[in-house]
Structure 1
Amino acid sequence: MNQRDRMLAALPYKAWLDGLSEERMRAKEILFDHNNCRPSQVEERQRLLRLLLGKIGQNFNIEQPFRCDYGYNIEIGENFYANYGCLILDVAKVTIGNNVQFAPNVSILTAGHPLHPQSRNSGYEYGIPIQIGHNVWLGANVIVNPGVSIGENTVIGAGSVVTKAMPANVVAAGNPCRVLRSITDEDRKYYYKDRIFDVEDY
């Protein structure tokens, strides 16, 4: 088993061996082109992202700048939107459902290092997969740590650090992130806190 196989199997691996440095360089080159496109070059940006990512739906928009490690470990469903400054460390699989929204500066981090300094200094690191369900909204500056899953329809508040699995249909926030309450049918009539929609087509 080479180091790439170990990385994909969530085992300790060394990131500079067996072609991994070259694969990261490929991703950086594509991302450089993407991030330096003119804003009006929407089709070219999308072409580059399709070249980079493992899977992505037909309808998506990832604002510049966007950064990731490899790209091929990222699978995204339909109607995805990521605002400015999205970072995905995809040394392990990142699976994102349909109708998911990321606010600015969201970080999805599958990568990590051992706690003990001697182990950490050996150069071994790891990646643990992350799963994000359908209809999830991550607020600005949310950090999702290795191995986390987030259930469908859940909203994670701005600035949260998600260190463990979050269930479906909840509002959660904090550092560490914790469930604040459930999302119910009553929430449908509000667009922000206690402000009620003044339109009928929502």
Structure 2
Amino acid sequence: MTEKQKMLAGKFYNSRDPELLKMYHKARKLLKEYNNLDSELTERRDAILTELFKVKEAGVWIETPFFCDYGENISIGKNTFINTNCMFLDNNYISIGKNGLIAPYVQIYTASHPLKASDRIIKEDNQTRYLTSSKEVIIGDNVWIGGNSVIFPGVTIGDNVTIGAGSVVTKNIPSNVLAYGNPCAIIKQL
């Protein structure tokens, strides 16, 4: 099993594996161009996102700067808007449905590490590395995620959900609700 296969299967993997580093460097080049491109060059911006992501449907708009690890593990549905300074750590799949609104500074994490330092830090051949695993994040259709929210690994957010600003989403959120807080909790049905 390759390190990439381990990563996508949720097993511990080596993030400094040559195949993963190649993906990382490709994403960095595309992001550098995208984040520095004139906003009026919409066709080139669209082409970069199409090359970067696994799936980018029509009408996706991403404000700059935008950051991700690999890009190729991200799928975004049609007419989704992602505001400035968002960070998507796509060590596993991130799927965002159609008609989404993602406010500034939203962070979506798929990566995790063992809590205990002695389990997390591995020393081999005079080098130190850190055990990393990942879990998929799924966000449904018509979801609005407020600014400065953080979505944890393994979380699924249903359709027609509003997540209030500053929320820390640590567990699944069902469809058709307003949820916010730290930790994020369901406030009411919509």
Please classify the TM superposition score into its range, dividing by the shorter chain length.
over 0.9
Structure 2 distance, partners of 1:142, 1:58, is 25
1:43 CA displacement: 1.5
In structure 1, what is the Cα distance between the partners aligned to 2:108 and 2:132?
16
Q: Deviations over 1:35-68 (max 9, x none)?
A: 0001211211111010100001111100000110
- The aligned counterpart of 2:4 is 4
Residue in 1 that maps onto 2:36: 36
How far the C-alpha of 1:174 sits from its partner, in A, is 0.3
**Residue of structure 2 in register with 1:94 after alignment:** 94
Output the CA distance in 1 between the equivalents of 2:77 and 2:12.
29
What amino acid maps onto 2:140 in structure 1? Answer: G
Q: Does 1:53 align with 2:72?
A: no
Indicate conservation of the 8 Å contact 2:60/2:76, yes or no.
no
Match of 1:170 in 2: 177
Residue 125 of structure 1 is matched in structure 2 by 132
Q: Which residue of 143, 148, 158 maps to 2:165?
A: 158
CA deviation profile, 1:118-139 (whole Å, cap 9, x unmatched): 1111221011000000100000
- 1:2–1:18 CA contact under 8 A, matched in 2: no
Query: Are the counterparts in 1 of residues 92 and 110 from structure 2 also a CA contact under 8 Å?
Result: yes
**Cα distance in 2 for residues equivalent to 1:70 and 1:84:** 18
CA drift at 1:86: 1.2
CA distance in 2 between counterparts of 1:39 and 1:70 reads 23
Aligned-partner Cα distance in 1 for 2:136–2:185: 20
Show the counterpart of 2:72. Answer: 72
Deviations 1:74-95 (A, max 9, x none): 0111111001011100010111
Aligned to 2:127: none
What is the TM-score of this pair, normalised by structure 1?
Answer: 0.89
Q: How far is 1:18 from its partner?
A: 3.8
Match of 1:186 in 2: none
Q: Percent identity?
A: 40
User: Is the radius of gyration larger for structure 1 or structure 2?
Assistant: 1
Give the total of aligned pairs: 183
CA distance in 2, matches of 1:44, 1:174: 38
Runs ≥4 residues deviating over 4 A: none
Shift of residue 31 of structure 1?
0.2
The structure with higher relative contact order (CA 8 Å, sep 6+) is: 2
Any unmatched runs of 5+ in structure 2?
A: 123-129
Q: Secondary structure at the match of 2:40?
A: coil
Equivalence for 1:189: none
